[in-house]
Amino acid sequence: MPSTDTISKKAGLPPGSLVHLGRHFTNKVKISVIDYDAEYLSETICKSTEECFPYKETDTVSWINVDGLHDTDTIASIGNHFELHPLLLEEVLNTLQRPKFEEFDDYLFLTLKQLAIDKESDSVASEHISLVLGKGWVISFREHESEIFLALQERLREIKGNIRKKGADYLFYRLIDSVVDNYFFVIDHINEALEDLEEHVLYTPDDHSLKEIQHLKKQLIILRKAVIPLREAIITLDKEPNILIEESTTRYLRDVYEHIIHITESIDVLRDTLSNIMEMYQSGVSNKTNQVMQVLTIIATIFMPLTFITGIYGMNFTHMPELHLKYGYFGVWGIMVIISVIMAFYFRRKRWF
Amino acid sequence: MPSTDTISKKAGLPPGSLVHLGRHFTNKVKISVIDYDAEYLSETICKSTEECFPYKETDTVSWINVDGLHDTDTIASIGNHFELHPLLLEEVLNTLQRPKFEEFDDYLFLTLKQLAIDKESDSVASEHISLVLGKGWVISFREHESEIFLALQERLREIKGNIRKKGADYLFYRLIDSVVDNYFFVIDHINEALEDLEEHVLYTPDDHSLKEIQHLKKQLIILRKAVIPLREAIITLDKEPNILIEESTTRYLRDVYEHIIHITESIDVLRDTLSNIMEMYQSGVSNKTNQVMQVLTIIATIFMPLTFITGIYGMNFTHMPELHLKYGYFGVWGIMVIISVIMAFYFRRKRWF
Amino acid sequence: MPSTDTISKKAGLPPGSLVHLGRHFTNKVKISVIDYDAEYLSETICKSTEECFPYKETDTVSWINVDGLHDTDTIASIGNHFELHPLLLEEVLNTLQRPKFEEFDDYLFLTLKQLAIDKESDSVASEHISLVLGKGWVISFREHESEIFLALQERLREIKGNIRKKGADYLFYRLIDSVVDNYFFVIDHINEALEDLEEHVLYTPDDHSLKEIQHLKKQLIILRKAVIPLREAIITLDKEPNILIEESTTRYLRDVYEHIIHITESIDVLRDTLSNIMEMYQSGVSNKTNQVMQVLTIIATIFMPLTFITGIYGMNFTHMPELHLKYGYFGVWGIMVIISVIMAFYFRRKRWF
Amino acid sequence: MPSTDTISKKAGLPPGSLVHLGRHFTNKVKISVIDYDAEYLSETICKSTEECFPYKETDTVSWINVDGLHDTDTIASIGNHFELHPLLLEEVLNTLQRPKFEEFDDYLFLTLKQLAIDKESDSVASEHISLVLGKGWVISFREHESEIFLALQERLREIKGNIRKKGADYLFYRLIDSVVDNYFFVIDHINEALEDLEEHVLYTPDDHSLKEIQHLKKQLIILRKAVIPLREAIITLDKEPNILIEESTTRYLRDVYEHIIHITESIDVLRDTLSNIMEMYQSGVSNKTNQVMQVLTIIATIFMPLTFITGIYGMNFTHMPELHLKYGYFGVWGIMVIISVIMAFYFRRKRWF
Amino acid sequence: MPSTDTISKKAGLPPGSLVHLGRHFTNKVKISVIDYDAEYLSETICKSTEECFPYKETDTVSWINVDGLHDTDTIASIGNHFELHPLLLEEVLNTLQRPKFEEFDDYLFLTLKQLAIDKESDSVASEHISLVLGKGWVISFREHESEIFLALQERLREIKGNIRKKGADYLFYRLIDSVVDNYFFVIDHINEALEDLEEHVLYTPDDHSLKEIQHLKKQLIILRKAVIPLREAIITLDKEPNILIEESTTRYLRDVYEHIIHITESIDVLRDTLSNIMEMYQSGVSNKTNQVMQVLTIIATIFMPLTFITGIYGMNFTHMPELHLKYGYFGVWGIMVIISVIMAFYFRRKRWF
Instruction: State what percent of residues in chain A have pLDDT above 90.
Output: 36
Q: What is the pLDDT of residue B1?
A: 37
pLDDT digits (tens, 9 = 90+) for C193-212: 999 999 888 888 887 888 89
Using one digit for the tens of pLDDT, what is the confidence trace for C227-276? 999 998 998 888 877 888 888 888 889 889 989 999 999 999 999 899 98
Give the Cα separation of D92 and D17 in Å (integer). 12
Write the burial class of residue D178 (CB in 10 Å: 0-12 exposed, 13-18 middle, 19+ buried): buried
Residue B63 confidence class, pLDDT cut points 50, 70, 90: very high
Instruction: Check if the beta carbon of residue B308 is closer than 8 Å to that of residue A303.
Output: yes
Nearest CA in chain A to E17: A162
Interchain CB contact of A315 with E (< 8 Å): yes
| pLDDT at residue E2, rounded to an integer | 39
Which residues, in sequence order, are bridge partners of residue C112? Answer: C129
pLDDT of E5 reads 58
Residue C4 pLDDT more than 70?
Answer: no
D111 and D139 in contact (C-beta within 8 Å)? no
- Give the bridge partners for C111, in sequence order: C100, C130
The answer to whether A201 faces chain E, any CB pair under 8 Å, is no
Q: Does the pLDDT at position A12 exceed 80?
A: no
Residues of D in contact with E202 (CB under 8 A): 211, 214
As to burial, measured by CB atoms within 10 angstroms (0-12 exposed, 13-18 middle, 19+ buried), residue C268 is middle
Query: Contact C261/B299, CB-based, under 8 Å?
Result: no
Give residue D1's pLDDT band: very low, low, confident or very high (50, 70, 90): very low
Which residue stretches of chain A are H helix?
Answer: 72-81, 86-93, 150-157, 168-203, 207-239, 247-312, 328-349
pLDDT score of C120: 87
Helix (H/G/I), strand (E/B), else coil: C103: strand
Q: Which of A9-13, C299-303, E78-82 has the lowest mean pLDDT?
A: A9-13
Phi/psi at C211 (nearest 5 deg)?
-65, -40
User: Which numeric CATH code is attached to C293-349?
Assistant: 1.20.58.340
Residue D140 has pLDDT above 90, yes or no: yes
Q: What is the pLDDT of residue E34?
A: 94
Average pLDDT over residues B92-118: 90
The lowest-confidence range among A11-25, A248-262, C214-228 is: A11-25
Fold type of domain A288-349: Methane Monooxygenase Hydroxylase; Chain G, domain 1 (1.20.58)
pLDDT exceeds 70 at position D26: no
Distance CA A161, CA A155 (A): 6
What digits encode the pLDDT tens for the residues D294-303? Answer: 888 888 888 8
Query: For residue A25, what pLDDT band results from cuts at 50, 70 and 90?
Result: low
Distance from CA of E85 to the nearest CA of D (A): 32
Q: Tell if the CB–CB gap between D14 and E163 is shorter than 8 Å.
A: yes
Binned at pLDDT 50, 70 and 90, residue B147 comes out as confident
Q: What is the pLDDT of residue E315?
A: 86
Q: What is the CA radius of gyration of chain E?
A: 34
CATH number of the structural domain B289-349: 1.20.58.340
- Indicate whether C19 pLDDT > 90: no
Considering CB atoms only, which of D252, D290, D297 is closest to C15? D252
Of residues E251, E307, E319, nearest to D329 (C-beta): E319
Residues A229-287 have pLDDT tens digits of 999 899 888 887 788 888 888 888 988 998 999 999 999 999 989 998 998 898 888 88
Amino acid found at A285: V
3-state secondary structure at position D21: strand
Q: Do E252 and D282 touch (CB under 8 A)?
A: no
Top residue of B196, B202, B317, B340 to mutate, by most chain A CBs within 10 Å, is: B317
- Contact call for C315 and B314, based on CB within 8 A: yes
Q: In what order do the strands lie in the sheet with B61-67?
A: B41-46, B30-36, B61-67, B137-142, B123-133, B108-118, B100-103
The C-alpha atoms of residue C163 and residue C168 are separated, in whole angstroms, by: 10
Whether the predicted pLDDT of C304 surpasses 80: yes
Residue D137 to chain E, least CA–CA distance (Å): 24
CB A3 within 8 Å of CB B198: no
User: What radius of gyration do chain D's Cα atoms show?
Assistant: 34
What is the model's pLDDT at position A3?
A: 41
ipTM: 0.77
pLDDT at residue A1, as a whole number: 36
Looking at the domain B7-283, which fold is it? Beta Polymerase; domain 2 (3.30.460)
**Backbone angles phi and psi of A129, in degrees to 5:** -125, 135
A321 touches chain B (CB under 8 A): no
- pLDDT confidence of residue D220: 92
Looking at the predicted structure, is the pLDDT value of residue C55 above 70? yes
Q: Which helix (H) or strand (E) holds A103?
A: strand A100-103
Taking only the tens place, the pLDDT of each residue in B184-214 is 999 999 999 999 999 888 888 887 888 899 8
- Nearest by CB to A313, which of B185, B272, B317? B317
Q: DSSP per residue over C114-143, as a string?
A: EEEEETTTTEEEEEEEEEEE-SSEEEEEES
Phi and psi of E215, rounded to 5°?
-60, -45
**Cβ atoms within 10 Å of A38's Cβ, excluding its own:** 14
Looking at residue B69, its pLDDT comes to 87
**DSSP states along E61-129:** EEEEEEE--S-HHHHHHHHHHTT--HHHHHHHHBTTPPPEEEE-SS-EEEEEEEEEEETTTTEEEEEEE
Q: Which residue in D has a C-alpha nearest to residue C292's C-alpha?
A: D294
Q: What is the arithmetic mean of pLDDT over B292-321?
A: 87
Provide the pLDDT confidence category of residue D237 given band limits of 50, 70 and 90: confident
CATH superfamily, domain D290-349, is Magnesium transport protein CorA, transmembrane region (1.20.58.340)
What is the β-pairing status of strands C108-118 and E108-118? unpaired
Q: Are A133 and A169 in contact (CB under 8 A)?
A: yes
DSSP state letters, E209-256: HHHHHHHHHHHHHHHHHHHHHHHHHHHHHHHS--TTS-HHHHHHHHHH
Contact between B69 and B92 under an 8 Å Cβ cutoff? The reply is yes
Among the partner residues B155, B162, B308, nearest to A307 by beta-carbon distance: B308
Contact E244, E133 (CB under 8 A): yes
Confidence of residue C1 (pLDDT cuts 50, 70, 90): very low
* DSSP 8-state code for residue C232: H
For residues D226 and D183, the answer to whether their CB atoms sit within 8 Å is yes
CA pair distance B220, B222, nearest whole angstrom: 5
Dihedral angle sign, alpha carbons of residues B304, B309, B313, B318 = positive
Q: How far apart are CA D335 and CA B129, in angstroms?
A: 70
Report in angstroms the alpha-carbon separations of E209 from C35, D207, E202, E349: 73, 18, 10, 34
Q: Which amino acid is at C233?
A: A
Give yes or no for residue C2 having a pLDDT over 60: no
pLDDT band at D7 (very low <50, low <70, confident <90, very high): low
- The mean pLDDT value for D249-256 works out to 88
Give the mean model confidence (pLDDT) for residues C73-84: 91
Q: Which of A209, A281, A285, A310 should one mutate to test binding to chain B, selecting the residue with the greatest count of B CBs within 10 A?
A: A310
Better pLDDT: D318 or D262: D262
pLDDT surpassing 60 at residue B26? no
Taking 50 as the threshold, does the pLDDT of residue B247 lie above it?
A: yes
pLDDT at D5 over 70: no
Hey, which CATH number is domain E291-349, 1.10.1140.10, 1.10.10.10, 1.20.58.340, 1.10.3720.10?
1.20.58.340
> What sign does the CA torsion over C103, C105, C107, C111 have?
negative
Q: Test A287 with E214 for CB contact under 8 angstroms.
A: no
Q: For A17-26, B136-145, D32-41, D242-251, which range has the lowest pLDDT when averaged over its residues?
A: A17-26
CATH number of D18-283: 3.30.460.20
Output the DSSP codes for C127-193: EEEEEEE-SSEEEEEESS--GGGHHHHHHHHSTT-GGGGS-HHHHHHHHHHHHHHHHHHHHHHHHHH
Strands C30-36, B137-142: pairing is unpaired
Look at residue B294 in the predicted model and tell me its pLDDT: 86
Nearest-by-CA chain E residue for D212: E280
Q: Is C235 helix (H, G, I), strand (E, B) or coil?
A: helix
Computed over every residue of chain C, the mean pLDDT equals 87
pLDDT along chain E (353 residues), means of 10: 56 72 74 91 90 89 91 90 90 89 91 91 91 94 89 86 87 94 91 91 84 91 92 86 85 89 92 90 86 86 89 85 84 90 89 76
> How long is chain A?
353
Residue of A nearest to E208 (CA): A202
Q: Which of residues 76-135 of D touch C (CB under 8 A)?
A: none
In chain E, where the domains are located: 7-283, 291-349
**C275 vs chain B: nearest CA distance in angstroms?**
11
Whole-number mean pLDDT of chain B?
Answer: 87
Query: Helix, strand, or coil here: A41?
Result: strand
Name every residue whose Cβ is closer than 8 Å to that of residue C122 and which is 6 or more positions away in sequence: C193, C215
Cross-strand bridge partners of residue E137: E62
Give the strand pairing for E61-67 and E137-142. parallel
- Give pLDDT, residue E139: 95
Hey, are the CB atoms on D301 and C295 less than 8 Å from each other?
Answer: yes
* Helices C150-157 and C168-203, axial angle in degrees (round to 10): 140
